[in-house]
Amino acid sequence: MKLFGRPPQRPREPLPIAILSFDRPTYLRSTLLSLRRQTTPADPVLLFQDGAFNPHSGRLKGDQTRIEACVALFREIFPWGEVFQAPENLGIADNYQRAETHVFVQRDAAAALFLEDDLVLSRHYLGAVDRLIGFALADPRIAYVSAYGDMWARRIAQWRDRRRLIHMHENWGAATTRRAWQDEQPFRRRYLALLEGADYSDRDHERIRAFFREHGLDTRITSQDAARWLATVLLGKVRLTTAACYARYIGRFGEHATPDYYRAGGFAGTRTALWPPADIEPPSDEEIAQWLAAERERFTGAFTPFYSGHSE
């Protein structure tokens, strides 16, 4: 007796995929291999490799040998891919901005997927994201979509809720549309201006939080992720992921990750869905209103994620 059925998959549209990399080649290899088995040369795959030396702090932020290993891995696994290697350390916020600008301005893409090196995708990830991108292109209230889903749910619960969408907690493995990105730019450029002339790790947290409070929102997190979260709330948009889990977070070690946070977050127990995505239902007006109301409430009380984990 089979526990789960296998709904048929529909053909997937080619998708620009930008990968943000620093100096964790072991993690990057796992991410790239999980991506490679579900892509073809029709998908533009782009590596935005950050550099080691930060000119603002004068610190060597990464290991040059490991950075070179990341580039070599990418070229080996994606021979058709393109590498955009920064000559110095930009930090995650500026590295994301240059990746998004390239995809949405230089390439004029309608939508794109952005990955970091600490998410391992199931073989059905891009199929799920493709369906959700269709929802986002049709509905301007949807800013980001992903398919990492409920990383803490048992498979039987994921199967039960396989057609449902839930709100994203982090922007991991997220796709967005050019329209949504353009709408966010006024807010996010003001955020980026607060980072100018400083190492991202040394950003002025109080100035950033004051900027957020100007808009009636508050969070202890001052990351580039937080700037995205708040931009979507202010614009009346939502960030959606599948209820079924199609990826594993592996970030035990890194500049913004520790084994303690990883354990506290319960990420080691993630069980990915074994079935292809099918018949995921678009969100209703009522669901979007509920999600947006919940986000607004979260960001009026110095919000911190419940697991206090990885947040760049």
Separation between Cα atoms, residue 262 and residue 116, nearest integer Å: 16
As a whole number, mean pLDDT of residues 113-142 equals 97
- pLDDT, position 5: 42
Q: Residue 230: pLDDT band by 50, 70, 90 thresholds?
A: very high
106 burial via Cβ count (<10 Å: 0-12, 13-18, 19+): exposed
- Per-residue pLDDT reduced to its tens digit, 10-69: 577 889 999 999 999 999 999 999 999 999 999 999 999 999 999 999 999 999 999 999
pLDDT in tens, 96-124: 999 999 999 999 999 999 999 999 999 99
* Contact between 39 and 45 (Cβ < 8 Å): yes
Please give the share of the chain, as a percent, with pLDDT higher than 70.
92
Coil, strand or helix at 6: coil
Between 207 and 308, the higher pLDDT residue: 207
Mean pLDDT score, 213-241: 94
Residue with the two structure tokens 């994201």: 129
Least confident of 5-9, 39-43, 149-153: 5-9
pTM of the model: 0.92
Where residue 311 falls among pLDDT bands split at 50, 70, 90?
very low
The neighbour count for residue 41, using CB atoms within 10 Å, is 11
Q: Quick one: pLDDT at residue 10?
A: 58
Q: Is the pLDDT of residue 312 over 60?
A: no
Q: Does position 2 have pLDDT exceeding 70, yes or no?
A: no
Top-confidence residue, 306 or 290: 290
pLDDT at 300 over 70: yes
Q: What mean pLDDT is predicted for residues 196-219? A: 95
Q: What is the pLDDT of residue 305?
A: 58
* pLDDT value of residue 279: 86
- pLDDT at res. 302: 54
Q: What is the DSSP string of 36-79?
A: HTT--TTS-EEEEE--SEETTTTEE-S-HHHHHHHHHHHHHH-T
* Predicted local confidence at residue 4, as pLDDT: 42
Domains of the chain by residue range:
17-303
Q: Residue 175: pLDDT above 60? A: yes
State the pLDDT at residue 103.
98
Q: CA 90 to CA 21: how far, in whole Å? A: 11
Looking at CATH, the fold of the domain delimited by 17-303 is given as: Spore Coat Polysaccharide Biosynthesis Protein SpsA; Chain A (3.90.550)
Number of alpha carbons in the 13 Å side-chain half-sphere of residue 5: 7
Mean residue pLDDT across the chain? 92
Confidence of residue 1 (pLDDT cuts 50, 70, 90): very low
pLDDT at 173: 97
* Model pLDDT, residue 304: 58
